[in-house]
Amino acid sequence: MTTTAMEHSHRDDVGSRMGLWLFLFSELILFGGMFIIYAVYRFKHPEEFRLAASELDSFIGTLNTIILLTSSLTVAMSITAIQRDKKYFSMALVVTTLILALAFLVNKYFEWAHKISLGIYPQSPDLVNKPQGEILYFGLYYVMTGLHALHVIIGMVVLAVMVVFIANGKINQHTFVRLEAGGLYWHLVDIIWIFLFPLFYLIQ
Amino acid sequence: MTTATVAAEPDFYHEKTRFKGIFGWIFSTDHKRIGILYLIAIITFFLTGMTIGVLMRLEMLNPENTIVTAQTYNMFFTLHGIIMIFLVLIPVFPAVFGNFFLPLMIGAKDVFFPRLNLLSWWLFMAGGTLALVSLFLPGGAADTGWTFYVPYSIRSNTNIIPALMAAFILGFSSILTGLNFITTIHRMRAPGMTWFKMPLFTWSLYATGWVQVLATPVIGITLLLVTIERLFGVGIFDPTLGGDPVLYQHLFWMYSHPAVYIIILPAMGVVSDIIPVFARRTIFGYKFIAYSSLAIASVGSLVWAHHMFTVGMSNTGMFMFSLLTFLVAIPSAIKVFNWVATLYKGSIELEVPLLFMLAFIVQFSIGGLTGLMLGALSVNIHVTDTYFVVGHFHYVMFGGTGFALFGALHYWFPKMFGRMYKKRPAFFGWLFMTVGFNVLYFPMLILGYMGMPRRYYHYLPEYEYLQRIATVGSWIMVAGILLLLINLIVSLRRGDKAPANPWGGRTLEWTVSSPPPMENFHEIPVVTTGPYDYSEYEKLSSDQS
């Protein structure tokens, strides 16, 4: 029985993963609260939401969706790479993920900047004079995509740390639970975008 | 079970740590040290909240102005609520007793994520400090009530943002604690400790952990949205921008109702653990108590809108929420009946921890039954936002969890500090606290039924008589609480040395020395019996009869 005890106090990948999944549940519910607000307001103002949504550029939205999905692929591949002991390939894949994430944020920046230059931002004279449904739509647009972008930045920091861990050997062929955790977090960021994209850009 | 470890070995207070002095504590990942740190912080917050409460009662002595202005009174009830709920009641059982005893009870050396545990404490202290600092910043303390209802929380000029951020950070701390405990319980139980050999306090922490992880994010996002709305004027809840204040209330109670189960469930677990020890009997209906914790946690997450029967809702909605509210009463009542059945024919020893548990059962029952009255639609409309509600939740929150807190503190004091407390002052402290509590809060139920609204600064002369009785009750109760705490503090130095198992408990924390050594168990114990194995006593009593 002491062997079990040793495992308990030293290393238990199943437990580490369980903790991470619980954290992801709570993150999902954090966004869940916002999705509820979106659903309620869309139900109350269907026409104004439709009008406001037509002002978004679904090309940039689609581009960003492709970028994020590809980044999820590269981060998943990096785990397979480290399992096969291809250290530098794995690092290159995580770095690719980071570059894609940066591209996503640059797109987002131009998208927001464009909206702001059109006078659509909270408390702007143009927005305040619009119908209430549109004010709510753009309020939610900024808050939800903003909070998502914040998660992208957090995910980038986490993945950057993973690159360091792979480089100094803390993540290796036998110990890769941390990279898995970083990857799972990145998939969460991805899956939230998968819901944000149709809700804001596609449903019209 | 194994005997106590050798006395010569240093306990966790005296073990050499990596850092010296205070840093050996605030950077320690030892679950016992973190538990003690939480205890010190939470008792401090409790005394702050209690002082504000006493001042509020003093103000209510006269129908007109007594000691403070109306604005100060608004700040008082807001702070009293924020401090007592977010800084005392929600964290107290998981963070203090959960941290200290969960690993000991399941035969583990620490929690699963020790460093995350330390981070939770730091976040808790950051949130608590922010809440207290917001009192002294220019602008004054928040005056919205602890519920932060919009639109007033968007318009008020007081320091709302620090208070909201404090609650947000505290929520994050609570999520991490819950996540840590769930993983610990899944992965670190000692060999032989199956799910149904776990102590019931552990079961209740497990159910609580799920509520912490799944409900807290909702209030996190809601409070964050109010902050964003105040800072940037984004239209989300503000009705002038098309927002819906009632939606805010829904989201707020989606967390804050489950939060009362975060508060009460571990307290119920403590009751289930203490009663068998002092009745020398196996707990009655172990599985029912364990499952009822899960039932309360799950059904309790679906009743939030019973706080909002008067704001406008469809009749179907009102009917469903009322029905679900009644359903939660069933698992709660199962627990109460099982506790009473455990006492029946037991060899009862009336020690102070058991006295607190008995007070808990009576007061929690009053709180629960008045809760059913509030869950009934017709009565609810009559007593919404009156002292009846205030009386009801103080009976549950304080008469329940508060008394369980003091009971747990006396029950585990010998294990945590290695000293026995003086029994006579503790008994009188309990007596004053119990009498004072009921003199304070029972009149509130009557006042509320007569129509006295909550949070009012002035009141009609016809309420004066009962208001004064309640104020006198607050003095008696505070005298009792101070007596209890001073007695414990004095006993820290002057109390007799505690043996490993002063009460004859059967759970694993009593098999190690008092206070426990740094690494808890030298060898992870192998569990063969259940947590409440009093078969030899039961055999004895059945022989006599």
d(CA B275, CA A46): 57
Query: How many residues would you count in chain B?
Result: 545
Encoded amino acid at B363, one letter = Q
Side chain identity, residue B377: L
Closest CB to B183: pick one of A15, A34, A122: A15
Q: Is residue A7 one of the residues assigned to a domain?
A: no
Give which of B55, B82, B81 is closest to B68, Cα–Cα: B55
Mean pLDDT of B66-90: 94
Confidence class of residue A8 from pLDDT cuts 50, 70 and 90?
Answer: very low
pLDDT at B528: 87
- Domain extent for A31: 12-202
With an 8 Å Cβ cutoff, are A44 and B235 in contact?
no
ipTM, two decimals, is: 0.91
Is residue B340 within 8 Å of residue B289, measured between CB atoms?
no
Average pLDDT over residues B464-475: 96
pLDDT tens string B150-160: 999 998 989 99
| Minimal-distance CA residue of chain B relative to A132 | B242
The shortest CB-CB distance from B112 to any of A19, A123, A131 is to: A19
B58 pLDDT exceeds 90? Answer: yes
Per-residue pLDDT band at B312 (split at 50, 70, 90): confident
Residue B201: partners with Cβ closer than 8 Å, 6 or more residues away: B97, B101, B105, B266, B269, B270, B272, B273
**Residue B497 three-state SS:** strand
What pLDDT, on a 0 to 100 scale, did the predictor assign at position A6?
A: 41
Please determine, for residue B543, whether its predicted confidence score (pLDDT) is greater than 80: no
Q: In whole angstroms, give the CA distance from residue A42 to residue A140.
A: 11
What pTM, to 2 d.p., does this model score? 0.93
Q: Measuring CA to CA, which residue among B385, B236, B367 is closest to residue B308? A: B385
- Judge whether B165 and B227 are in contact, CB under 8 Å: yes
Residue A1 placed within a domain: no
B16 assigned to some structural domain: no
CATH of the domain at B377: 1.20.210.10
CB-based contact B244 A4, cutoff 8 Å = no
Task: Please indicate, yes or no, if residue B295 is contained in any of the structural domains.
Answer: yes
Residue A10 binned pLDDT confidence (cut-offs 50, 70, 90): low
Cβ-in-10-Å burial (0-12, 13-18, 19+) of A10 comes to exposed
CA–CA dist B456, B73 (Å, integer): 9
Q: What is the CATH number of the domain that holds A58?
A: 1.20.120.80
CA proximity to A156, closest of A123, A124, A189, A114: A189
- Min Cα distance B243 → chain A (Å) is 7
pLDDT interval class at B545 (50, 70, 90): low
Is residue B138 included in any domain, yes or no? yes
Q: How many domains does chain B have?
A: 1
CB atoms within 10 A of CB A177: 16
Instruction: Check A8 against B108: CB less than 8 A apart.
Output: yes
B212 and B175 Cβ atoms separated by less than 8 Å: yes
Q: Which of A29, A37, A142 sits opposite B214 (nearest CB)?
A: A29
Most confident of A48-52, B71-75, B294-298, B443-447: B443-447
Instruction: Answer yes or no: do A143 and B236 touch at CB < 8 A.
Output: yes
Does B526 sit within 8 Å of A132, measured CB to CB? no
Q: Is there a contact between B218 and A32 if contact means CB atoms under 8 Å apart?
A: yes
pLDDT band (50, 70, 90) for residue B462: very high
Tokens of A157: 């920091």
A-B C-beta contacts closer than 8 Å: 112
Asked if residue A3 belongs to a domain, the reply is: no
**Structure token digits, residue B514:** 């008092």
Residues 6+ apart with CB under 8 A from B155: none
In a domain, A173, yes or no: yes
Residue B535 has pLDDT above 50, yes or no: yes
Give the least confident one: A54-58, A78-82, B305-309: A54-58
The pair of structure tokens assigned to B154 is 């968007």
DSSP code at position B525: -
Residue A4 lies in a domain: no
B235 DSSP assignment: -
3-state SS assignment for residue B453: strand
Q: Say what the pLDDT of residue A4 is.
A: 42
Tell me whether residue B22 is in a domain: no
Which phi and psi angles does B11 have, rounded to 5°?
-85, 180
Q: What is the rounded CA–CA span in Å between residue B351 and residue B354?
A: 5
Mean pLDDT of B74-92: 94
- Of A122-126, B9-13, B307-311, the range with the lowest mean pLDDT is B9-13
What three-state secondary structure class fits A170? Answer: coil
In a domain, B475, yes or no: yes
Q: What letter does residue B420 receive in the DSSP assignment?
A: P
Number of C-beta neighbours around residue A37 at 10 A: 26
Read off the pLDDT of residues B481-527 as tens digits, 9 standing for 90 and up.
999 999 999 999 999 999 999 999 999 999 999 999 988 998 889 99
Residue B91 has pLDDT above 80, yes or no: yes
Q: Which residues of B touch A149 (CB under 8 A)?
A: none
In B, minimum Cα distance to A31 occurs at B221
Dihedral Cα A154, A158, A160, A166, nearest 10 deg:
-170
Residue B25 lies in a domain: no
B139 φψ region: left (φ > 0), alpha (ψ -120 to 50), beta (else): left
Which amino acid is it at B22? Answer: I
Q: How many CB atoms lie within 10 A of CB B439?
A: 18
- Within a domain: B9: no
Q: Looking at the DSSP assignment, which residues form a beta bridge with residue B517?
A: B11
pLDDT given for residue B247 in this prediction:
94
**pLDDT of B380 over the 90 cut:** yes
Q: Give residue A9's pLDDT band: very low, low, confident or very high (50, 70, 90).
A: very low
C-beta of residue B274 within 8 angstroms of C-beta of residue B407: yes
Q: Is residue B518 part of a domain?
A: yes
* DSSP letters spanning B97-148: IIHHHHHHHTT-SS-S-HHHHHHHHHHHHHHHHHHHHHHHSTT-S--S-TT-
Name the pLDDT band for B423 (thresholds 50, 70, 90).
Answer: very high
On whether residue A127 sits in a domain, the answer given is yes
Candidates B179, B241, B243; nearest CB to A22: B179
User: Which residue range(s) make up the domain with B329?
Assistant: 31-544
Tell me whether residues A136 and B186 touch, CB distance under 8 A: no
In which band, very low, low, confident or very high, does the pLDDT at B22 lie, cut at 50, 70 and 90?
confident
